[in-house]
Amino acid sequence: MDSKTNNIETPEESKQEQTQNQNPLPLVPAASISLSLSTLLPSHFLPPKQITNPPNKIKIPSQISSLSQFSLSSSLSPAKAFFKSSISANPLQNTLTLNPLRPSNPSGAAALRRAAVVWFRNDLRIHDNECLTAANNESISVLPVYCFDPRDYGKSSSGFDKTGPYRATFLIESVSDLRKNLQARGSDLVVRIGRPESVLLEVVKAVGADAVYMHREVSHDEVKAEEKIEEVMKDEGVEVKSFWGSTLYHLEDLPFQLEEMPTNYGGFKERVKGLDVRKTIEPLDRMKGLPKRGDVEPGEIPSLVDLGLNPNAAMGQNGKTAANASLVGGETEALQRLRNFAVECKAKPNNGFKNGANDSIYGANFSCKISPWLAMGCLSPRSMFDELKKSASSLISAATNKKNGGSGTSDTGLNWLMYELLWRDFFRFITRKYSTAKQQSYAPATACTGAAA
């Protein structure tokens, strides 16, 4: 009864009683608020009888705009007796749910993917790997995967090995080196023998991945594999993010659409004249960890026998190792050979050989001897070009002068290499063009006489 009497006293009487400390409970200052005080204020602010029957529902007209002024830490702090906000901390904690952007929520600009799977193909490297770098930057955890596709092995319709023992050995060494480089950065490589669409689906489900990252390739079978992966992942609601990284010039930088690409090298060379080469992407010093969910085993790297190949076929006559079997696969070996080649070009820029190339390029040891690593993606064309620019800077001015129609009569190893890389780009782009064409009514690709001269 005393409590009710106090609640209806005049302001003067209330002020007098507060002065004399006769009321032990402080009164809450009046505030303009759309919520019931009996609902929002904690029990220690008001007498118990005023909060015995709180409403079941609370209507907050400006809830979203109000929440934008709060941080998660402030919403969980203890309630204070007097505060400026019209909404206390406790109701936010008990009645309203603050849902910060979770890593698996892709709608937020700063959100990270929970887990990403990187499908390695012909990009067995850490350096200048946009696919791997993007997955690492956009995800909390990354799972690198390589598949030995059984369809790439065995006999062809002509009776020949689809993948010979030399190439298979080189590939196995390259995959092994990639695993070592990933492990050195806190990650690992999952290796499986199986069709990529089946292996990747199994791995994605196991770790709960949000996306699959991959580099696009050019041949008909490789494009079909990409389409199959996209189809399978679409059914699972998993995004597929693709990148381009196998040529000197980027596909998106070409001054024409792929379906409009010239069908001869001379026309292609003329159209890309003066086109800038993108900068290389620095290798990751440290990678995100592997997904904790799923507990996926890395697996063993297969042998030639596991791939259905005869190990003795890699031996030459009289049981001796064949000359081309001495090539060691992997990114580590590729970068070392590239550095050695750059030093040779700088030391012997022109000894009178074809196109000004030095004597280590032509003759018995013709070419730069780096093609196998380019084919497997252990080395990127952009890295090759960039390294030569750094190590053979004395040759760049002559190559640029020649390219711009200067009067220089001598060519350089760098300029010769540009011609070779342009030829490689031409064949890869034209192959991709026909692999993705819906109508096979294009003229066949041709090469002009003297196009590389």
| Strand runs labelled E in 126-215 | 142-148, 190-193, 211-215
pLDDT band at 99 (very low <50, low <70, confident <90, very high): very low
For 247, 251, 326, the CA distances from 432, given in Å and listed in that order, are 12, 10, 32
Looking from the CA of 74 toward its CB, the CA atoms found within 13 Å total 9
What is the mean predicted confidence (pLDDT) over 76-93?
35
The pLDDT of residue 314 is: 60
Pick the residue with more confidence: 62 or 18?
Answer: 18
Is the torsion defined by CA of 315, 316, 319, 321 positive or negative? negative
Between CA 341 and CA 395 the distance in angstroms is: 14
46 and 191 fall within a common domain: no
The more confident residue out of 241 and 13 is: 241
Q: Mean pLDDT score of the chain, rounded to an integer?
A: 73
- The band of 235, judged by pLDDT with boundaries at 50, 70 and 90, is very high
Residues 304 and 212 in one domain: yes
Nearest C-alpha neighbor of 339 from the set 379, 377, 372: 379
Q: Tokens 């059984």 identify what position?
A: 150
Tell whether 107 is covered by a domain.
Answer: no
141 compared with 13, residue with greater pLDDT = 141
pLDDT the model gives residue 41: 40
Contacts of 214 (CB under 8 A, 6+ apart): 118, 119, 121, 131, 226, 229, 240, 241, 242, 243
Range 22-33 average pLDDT? 45
Alpha carbons 23 and 253: distance in angstroms, whole number:
79
In this predicted structure, what is the pLDDT of residue 382? 94
Q: What is the reported pLDDT for 442?
A: 42
- Binding positions for FAD are 367-371, 420-427
Domain identity same for 48 and 142: no
Largest CA distance in the chain: 116
Asked whether residue 128 carries a pLDDT value surpassing 90, the answer given is: yes
Domain count within the chain: 2
In a domain, 109, yes or no: no
Q: Is residue 100 part of a domain?
A: no
- Per-residue confidence (pLDDT) for residue 327, from 0 to 100: 87
> Do 187 and 43 fall within a single domain?
no
The answer as to whether 249 is a domain residue is: yes
Q: Residue 67 to residues 33, 98, 99, 109: CA-CA distances in angstroms?
A: 15, 9, 11, 19
Q: State how far the Cα of 299 lies from the Cα of 382, in Å rounded to an integer.
A: 32
Question: Can you give the pLDDT at residue 303?
Answer: 95
Distance in Å from the first CA to the final CA of the chain: 108
Q: Where are the beta strands (DSSP E) in 100-238?
A: 116-120, 142-148, 190-193, 211-215
As to burial, measured by CB atoms within 10 angstroms (0-12 exposed, 13-18 middle, 19+ buried), residue 382 is buried
* Band (321; pLDDT cuts 50, 70, 90): low
Q: Is residue 238 part of a domain?
A: yes
213 lies in the same domain as 284: yes
* Average pLDDT of the residues in 163-167: 93
Both structure tokens of 88: 């206390």
Task: Find the angle CA(131)-CA(143)-CA(204) to the nearest 5 degrees.
Answer: 100
pLDDT the model gives residue 400: 52
In which element (H, E) is residue 233 found? helix 220-236
Summarised one tens digit per residue, pLDDT across range 367-391 is: 667 899 999 999 999 998 888 777 6
pLDDT band of residue 296 (cuts 50, 70, 90) is very high
Query: Which residues fall in the annotated binding site?
Result: 367-371, 420-427
In sequence order, what are the residues at sequence separation of 6 or more whose Cβ sits closer than 8 angstroms to the Cβ of residue 16? none
| Residue 83: per-residue pLDDT | 33
Q: Token digits for 407?
A: 């009067």
Q: Which of 169-183, 208-222, 341-355, 425-439 has the lowest mean pLDDT?
A: 341-355
Say if residue 3's pLDDT is above 50: no
Tens digit of pLDDT for each residue in 130-150?
Answer: 999 999 999 999 999 999 999
Predicted TM-score (pTM) of this structure: 0.67
Q: Give kind and range of the element (H or E) at residue 242.
A: strand 239-243
Euclidean distance between CA atoms 83 and 37, whole angstroms: 14
In this predicted structure, the answer to whether residue 44 has a pLDDT above a threshold of 70 is no
pLDDT at 50 over 80: no
Token output for 58: 């609370």
pLDDT confidence band for 162 (50 / 70 / 90): very high
**Domain co-membership, 50 together with 197:** no
Please indicate, yes or no, whether residues 48 and 154 belong to a single structural domain of this protein. Answer: no
Report the pLDDT value the prediction gives residue 103, as an integer from 0 to 100.
Answer: 38
Q: Are residues 346 and 222 in the same domain?
A: yes
Q: What are phi and psi of 407, to 5 degrees?
A: -90, 0
Examine residue 448 and state whether it is found in any structural domain, yes or no: no
Residue 112 pLDDT: 81
Q: Is residue 160 part of a domain?
A: yes
Residue 42 sits in the same domain as residue 157 = no
20 located within any domain:
no
Q: Do 152 and 236 share a structural domain?
A: yes
Tens of pLDDT along 298-313? 999 999 999 999 888 6
CB of 280 closer than 8 Å to CB of 126:
no
Residue 352 clears pLDDT 50, i.e. is over it = no
CA distance 268 to 279: 22
Distance CA 282, CA 138 (A): 16
pLDDT score of 339 more than 50 = yes
Q: Give the integer Cα–Cα distance in Å for 204 and 238.
A: 8
Contact 370, 334 (CB under 8 A): yes
Give the angle 43-45-46 at the CA atoms, nearest 5°.
75
What span, in angstroms and rounded, lies between the C-alpha atoms of 381 and 424? 9
CATH of the domain at 355: 3.40.50.620
Question: The domain containing residue 234 runs over which residues?
Answer: 116-315+330-436
Same domain? 43 vs 144:
no
pLDDT confidence bin for 35, thresholds 50/70/90: very low
- Using the predicted structure, report yes or no on whether residue 340 has a pLDDT greater than 70: yes
**Same structural domain, 42 and 145:** no
pLDDT tens string 416-452: 778 889 999 999 999 999 988 654 444 444 444 333 3
- Three-state SS for 355? helix
